[in-house]
A and B are shown apart, each in its own frame.
Chain A
Amino acid sequence: DAKTTQPNSMESNEEEPVHLPCNHSTISGTDYIHWYRQLPSQGPEYVIHGLTSNVNNRMASLAIAEDRKSSTLILHRATLRDAAVYYCIHAGNNRKLIWGLGTSLAVNP
Chain B
Amino acid sequence: EPEVTQTPSHQVTQMGQEVILRCVPISNHLYFYWYRQILGQKVEFLVSFYNNEISEKSEIFDDQFSVERPDGSNFTLKIRSTKLEDSAMYFCASSGPGRVGYGYTFGSGTRLTVV
Contact = CB atoms under 8 A, between A and B. Distances in A.
Q: Do the two chains belong together in a single complex? A: yes
Interface of A: 32, 34, 36, 38, 42-46, 48-49, 51, 87, 93-101
Contact of B44 (A49, A99, A101): A99
Interface of B: 31, 33, 35, 42-45, 48, 50, 56, 58, 89, 91, 93, 95-96, 100-109
Contacts of A49: 101, 103
A44 B31 contact: no
Main secondary structure of the interface of A (DSSP, over half): loop
Contacts of B45: 96-99
A46 B42 contact: no
A98 B103 CA distance: 14
B80 to A, nearest CB: 23
Contacts, number: 58
A46 B107 contact: no
B109 A43 contact: yes
Given A36-B106, A49-B101, A101-B42, 8 more contacts: A42-B109, A44-B43, A46-B105, A46-B106, A93-B101, A94-B50, A97-B43, A99-B42
A101 B95 CA distance: 22
Nearest to A48: B103
Contacts of B48: 94-96
Contact of A45 (B50, B58, B106): B106
A5 B80 CA distance: 36
Contacts of A34: 103-104
A43 B108 contact: yes
